[in-house]
Chains A and B, each alone.
Chain A
Amino acid sequence: MRNVLVGLSMLAGLASQSLMSLALISLALISLALISPALADVQIGILMPKTGFGAGFGAEEQGSIDLFMSKYADLGPAGKLKLTIYDTRGEPAQAISLTRKLIDTDNVLAILGPYFSGESEAAFPVANRAATPIVTPSSAKPGIAAANRPWTFRNASTTDKTDAALVVHWLKRQSSPVRKVVIFYDGKDAVSSSDGKAVMPAVLKANNIEVLDSISFQTGDVDFSAQVTRAKALGADGIVMTALFTEAGHLTRELRRQGMQQPILAGVELSLDHKFIETAGDAAAEGVLTGADFNRDSPRPSVVAFIKEYQERVGQLPGNSSALMYDALFLMRHCIMTTGVAGSSAADKAKIRDCWAGLKDVDAPIAGPSSIDENGDARHAPNFLIVKSGKFVVDR
């Protein structure tokens, strides 16, 4: 709308000498009036990493967006669902300015994204102050939504909820008991860092496991030889890593290459990405246990259908990020349909906020019954997945 007005005033300035200009302007105004019903479409903004180190996650999300829009773009009386997608490059600074742009310039009803915890930490206060609902489909660092009530939500379980179950499961399945572990964590990635420095150590301590050392690396590292050589001398009988899939892959490869064969637990930051196994190599990745919201082997008919349709449309299997985005879109549409919003007014935004805050056992296609707790977080039971012959399979 604002763009149209700016265009009009420019047009007026250019043609002000002639009478023709008046005719042109009135023509433009009439056509504006004619197309105005289309403005009733519901605008949702999406923030995701399309380039940079998170581009792989962005591609998974894009697949789900394409599939979802081909099926559910129609909102009935509210018109069509319109998405404005911006690339954050995985950078918190970009996430902030693009959140502002979506709210101020694009006048969206609500925002889905950003992807990473670091970005969400930066963007949530902006949306919260601007009284616009924002929902990250993926960020898992505890406390981010809780610190920005009441406009921020996430459709992902936080690590403090998933780690406890994950660690207990991992310890239980070892043939020889694990008593001393080394933690490797990504010091640059917000969720991996908080998980590796605070959440995992607390959970391990609660299970009487001694943490011998916490060794950091940085997102984007490819050389892990120094970290592994340092860990090798400590005599741990288990390894815990909180890392994104690429770094986890390189680290796992280096651990096995230097002869460390201890069982590995990888945090949910791995995001169940198959590229972890490609990077580590089948042999090195064998037996690594991780947790994820998405279970690709689920017998739920809606999951089976999603996987089939996604594969037909995108030509690849959906990943954890695909699944989370698909459910987030589904729940957002659910809120739009049930509250009957038709625009992006303050009242409409409040309705969407209340809908998310009150979500209770809504049947999302992938995760099933979905609820949001008092902190604005989803609560999904993690699936335990283990690498067997180059594939993630459910470990019961």
Chain B
Amino acid sequence: MVLLQQIINGVMLGSTYALVAIGYSLIFGVLRLLHFAHGEVFMVGAFIALCSVWFLNAGPVLAVVCAAVGCAVLGVVIEFVAFRPVRRRSGGMLAPIVSSLGVGLLLQEVATNIFGADQTRFPPQFEATVYHFGSLFVTSTQLFILATSFGLMLLVHLFISKTKYGLAMRAVAENVDVAGLLGINSNAVVVLTFAVASALGGIAGVLVGFAFSAISPFMGISMTIKGLVVMLIGGLGNVYGAMIGGLVLGIAEVLTVGYLASSYRDAFSFALLILVLLVRPQGLFAGGLRAGH
């Protein structure tokens, strides 16, 4: 029973990792570049939701929508300000990575100045109801998170595999130049990718804010690193890998804490990463968006 409860705990934690990692993977899949400010977009999403609750008296659903829209806009701005100019001037990997790190720091500092360095949280009416089943328990927030995460994962899957825009995205991921020759506006696809990925990141921020009653300007840093781990476990740029990888990491972390000690948590996550890279260097799901159905 304890093991079952721990696995439930792990799935809850992992589903938020998965949401962050899907956004990460989308951007990597299409652009082949690491968006190190994605964790900070996640953090901004939580704060946008908090503001919508404070000033618009929003409920959970409206808060999620506000965060998604706000972060989509933020993601597009980041693409225009921090990625596009750098991409145009240098073909290298390094410049976009550094400029995205810069954007991340900027967002963190701005958030610290506006909201302060202390943790804040959603007001008590967002407090979860707890459902007990024998010695097992889940909370209403956890169910909301699970439903939202899996719902969004399904939507992303349908979007990529079934729609015209998803097809364009996959074409650009395959080869930017050829996609351009075939009449696809690759710049527009990149903007779309940033919007979708950032919206997902923002939603993940709100969900984590709900689940753990903790929102702080520093919540993005660890998510950036965990998102990266999840992406590597799942397969670079592969959205389905990111979903599974997130759950795997969440469960691994919880089991480490539950049966060993919290100090081993990150060591185990990274050991898991190394193991996956040794056994399956391409990650659990190979091929990025290209092979992505």
B12-28 contacts to A, CB under 8 A, are 12-13
B2 near A229: Cβ-Cβ < 8 Å: yes
Q: How far does the alpha carbon of A191 sit from the alpha carbon of B149 in the complex, in Å?
A: 38
A257 near B139: Cβ-Cβ < 8 Å: yes
- Does B258 count as interface, using CB distance less than 8 angstroms? yes
Max chain A Cβ within 10 angstroms of own Cβ: one of B121, B213, B219: B213
Give B196-218 as 1s and 0s: 1 = Cβ < 8 Å from A's Cβ atoms: 00000000000010011110001
B13 near A223: Cβ-Cβ < 8 Å: yes
Chain B hits for A278, CB < 8 A: 121
Of B124-132, B173-181, B269-277, the one contacting chain A is: B124-132
Contacts A52-B117, A250-B212, A253-B213 given: A218-B112 contact, CB under 8 Å?
no
Q: How many residues of B contact A (CB 8 A)?
A: 39
Contacts A222-B212, A229-B6 given: A275-B118 contact, CB under 8 Å?
yes
Return the contact of B214 from the options A52, A187, A215, A222 (Cβ within 8 A).
A222
Give B86-121 as 1s and 0s: 1 = Cβ < 8 Å from A's Cβ atoms: 000000000000000000000000001000111101
A250 near B137: Cβ-Cβ < 8 Å: no
B116 near A55: Cβ-Cβ < 8 Å: yes
Contacts A226-B9, A229-B5, A257-B139 given: A56-B118 contact, CB under 8 Å?
yes
- Does A281 count as interface, using CB distance less than 8 angstroms? yes
Which residue of chain B is the closest to A246 with respect to CB atoms? Answer: B119
Determine the main DSSP class of B at the interface with A: helix
Q: How far does the alpha carbon of A221 sit from the alpha carbon of B124 in the complex, in Å?
A: 20
A226 near B258: Cβ-Cβ < 8 Å: yes
Chain A hits for B119, CB < 8 A: 246, 275, 279
Nearest CB in chain B: distance from A351 CB, A: 38
B218 near A53: Cβ-Cβ < 8 Å: yes
Which interface class (under 10, 10 to 19, 20 to 34, 35 or more) fits A? 20 to 34
Give A218-230 as 1s and 0s: 1 = Cβ < 8 Å from B's Cβ atoms: 1011110111011
B121 near A279: Cβ-Cβ < 8 Å: yes
Which residue of chain B is the closest to A185 with respect to CB atoms? Answer: B262
Contacts A216-B262, A230-B258, A259-B137 given: A225-B2 contact, CB under 8 Å?
no
B23-61 contacts to A, CB under 8 A, are none
- Does A258 count as interface, using CB distance less than 8 angstroms? yes
Q: How far does the alpha carbon of A215 sit from the alpha carbon of B264 in the complex, in Å?
A: 12
Nearest CB in chain A: distance from B8 CB, A: 9
Nearest CB in chain A: distance from B292 CB, A: 30
Q: How far does the alpha carbon of A290 sit from the alpha carbon of B50 in the complex, in Å?
A: 31
A176-191 contacts to B, CB under 8 A, are 187-188
- Does A233 count as interface, using CB distance less than 8 angstroms? yes
Max chain A Cβ within 10 angstroms of own Cβ: one of B9, B10, B219: B9
Return the contact of A281 from the options B6, B112, B127, B208 (Cβ within 8 A).
B127
- Does B257 count as interface, using CB distance less than 8 angstroms? yes
B261 near A187: Cβ-Cβ < 8 Å: yes
Return the contact of A55 from the options B118, B257, B265 (Cβ within 8 A).
B118
Chain A hits for B214, CB < 8 A: 222, 246, 250, 279
Chain A hits for B127, CB < 8 A: 281
Q: How far does the alpha carbon of A260 sit from the alpha carbon of B265 in the complex, in Å?
A: 24
A230 near B2: Cβ-Cβ < 8 Å: yes
A242-258 contacts to B, CB under 8 A, are 246, 250, 253, 257-258
B contact set with A: CB distance below 8 Å:
2, 5-6, 9-10, 12-13, 112, 116-119, 121, 124, 127-128, 130, 132, 135, 137, 139, 208, 211-214, 218-219, 222, 253-255, 257-259, 261-263, 265
Given A56-B117, A56-B118, A188-B263, 19 additional A-B pairs, CB 8 A: A52-B117, A53-B218, A216-B261, A216-B262, A216-B263, A220-B218, A220-B222, A225-B254, A226-B9, A226-B10, A227-B262, A230-B6, A232-B2, A246-B119, A257-B130, A259-B132, A278-B121, A279-B121, A281-B124
Would you list 8 pairs from A and B whose C-beta atoms are within 8 A, ordered by A residue? A215-B261, A223-B13, A232-B2, A233-B2, A246-B214, A275-B118, A279-B213, A281-B124
